[in-house]
Structure formats: structure tokens, C-alpha cells
Amino acid sequence: MAAKKGGLGKGLDSLIADKVGNSQADGKTEEKQEVLIPISKVEPNKEQPRKNFDEDALLELSESIKQFGVLQPLLVQDKKDYYEIIAGERRWRAAKLAGLKKVPVIVKHLTDQEIVEISLIENIQRENLNPIEEAIAYKRLLTEFNLKQDEIAERVSKSRTAVTNSMRLLKLNEKVQQMVIDDMISTGHARALLAISDEEKQYNLAQKIFDEKLSVREVEKLVKKLQNQKTAPIKENPDKAKMDAVYQDVEENMKTILGTKVTINQKDSMKGKIEIEYYSPQELDRIYELLQTIRK
């Protein structure tokens, strides 16, 4: 399918205005007309990019709707038995929470590609998509509608590099992708993990990032170290390997007991030091009280 020019880089309002003003049917221009319809007749689009909604933000919006109503109409498509949302699912959800019986809508007749594009740009402009949802939407435009990456970038007012980097996140282990969705790790962490091809190692490191609150820079160094270990010849002392395994087990047990990162730095076979990390004054107090109970 040939890519359409003019696209979404102009912004959602501009795109909708273009579609409304330029659509011709039997020599008549389609009018942009807002109407009230029963909220029970409106249903979300199952293919829309956004899957996750912040419950607290929805409650805030519903309180605003109770006072002022739905200020911006939903964009919908007539499906004969119901109206399918093209843009405005968040407003629809909040309106339901507010107890509204009717909502303002503008009924449109758009192609599947136009619906995906409008849903994508609406969510991007409002920063409503998580990084994985955004990447999936880009991939859909790429695979289903044969758009090129630079054409997608033009439509969403982003650089081609930003679109490419976004879609690269879909190469991650699915469990790691879910950690990005759940805000357990950042996109910076996720991009660093892409250098690890083994999905299980990728996920294990993602867990380590979350458990130990590692920074992106720390992860990059750790990934680089892992890659160097792959290429370097292995000259492991069997006795040292056994001791390292013992210390690692001790570290893990202490981490479980104390609920924070613990590092054992061995100076020689007889001595070393233990480092216990904390990330706030409250956490320091918690660790101190825990150690006090052990002393008793």
C-alpha cells in the first residue's frame, strides 16, 4: 500500500480536520458534526495500540468530567450495531466511571491504516503509550501497511532513529518486555540488554537490575564485561571457582535476609570485607533495626 503524504506529523487535530474537510461522497463534503450518543453504544477498538491505563489518572479525569463534562468529543466509526472508538478510549473509560449516560462523538469513515495512525499519534502526543505498545504500533504500520521507517517517523514527528530504536525493543525476551511495561526497568536498561543474545541471561540480568537498582551505566559495564568473558580464554583456577561460588551463595543469602544489595570483597583466602547498600535514610534505619534484632 502506498504511503500517504501529509500524515500525522502535523498533529492529530490537523489530521482529523484534513480527513473531515476533504472527504467527498456523491459530490457532497462530509461535515464535522458532533453528536451525543448513549455510552452503552460505544465500544473500544481491540486493535488500538494502548492496552494499559493508569487507574489513578482515570479517576482524576472522571472527577473532572463530573464537573465539566467531556470537553473533547470521541472519534468513532459506525459499525451498524455499535460505534467503535478511533480516538478517545481514555475519555470513554473516565466517562463511564463518572456515570455519564451519553458522550459527545464525531462519526468518521476511515480506512484501517488511518485508524491505526490516528490511534498511534493520539497516544504518542499525550504520552499515553508505554515503550512496548509504541514499538508494537510502529511494527504494525511497517508490516501490515507496508510503510517504511522514515514514512512512519514522518507521521509521528519523530526521527527515523527513534522509530528504529523503539522497534528494537521487540527483540527482547517477552518477560523483559513485560518488565519495561511494568516500569521495573527503563528503556535505557532495556536497550543495554539488547547486546545479550541469550534470552535467559537477558532476563536474569533484568532481574538483577531491578533487585539491585542498577543504573544504566552500571548495566552497560556489566554487559561489556559479559561480552569480554565470552571472547577471553578461560584459565580458571578450580579452587578459586569453588570459593567464588561459595561467596556468591553467601551474598545471595545475605541479600535475601537484608532485602538489599550485599557484596563480599575477598582480599585473600582468609579475609575481606562486606558491603551492604542502602538507598534512603529510611532503608538504612530498617537495616540497622534488623541487625539489632540479630545481635539480641
Catalytically active residues, by annotation: 89
The C-alpha atoms of residue 234 and residue 247 are separated, in whole angstroms, by 20
- Ordered DSSP codes for 56-71: HHHHHHHHHHHHH--S
Sort residue 259 into left (φ over 0), alpha (ψ -120 to 50) or beta. Answer: left
CA 296 to each of CA 256, 282, 288, 290: distance values in angstroms, whole numbers, following the listed order: 20, 22, 13, 10
- Ordered DSSP codes for 50-116: -----HHHHHHHHHHHHHH--SSPEEEEE-SSSEEEEE-HHHHHHHHHTT-SEEEEEEE---HHHHH
Lookup result for grid cell 466509526: 77
Under 8 Å between Cβ of 58 and 93 = yes
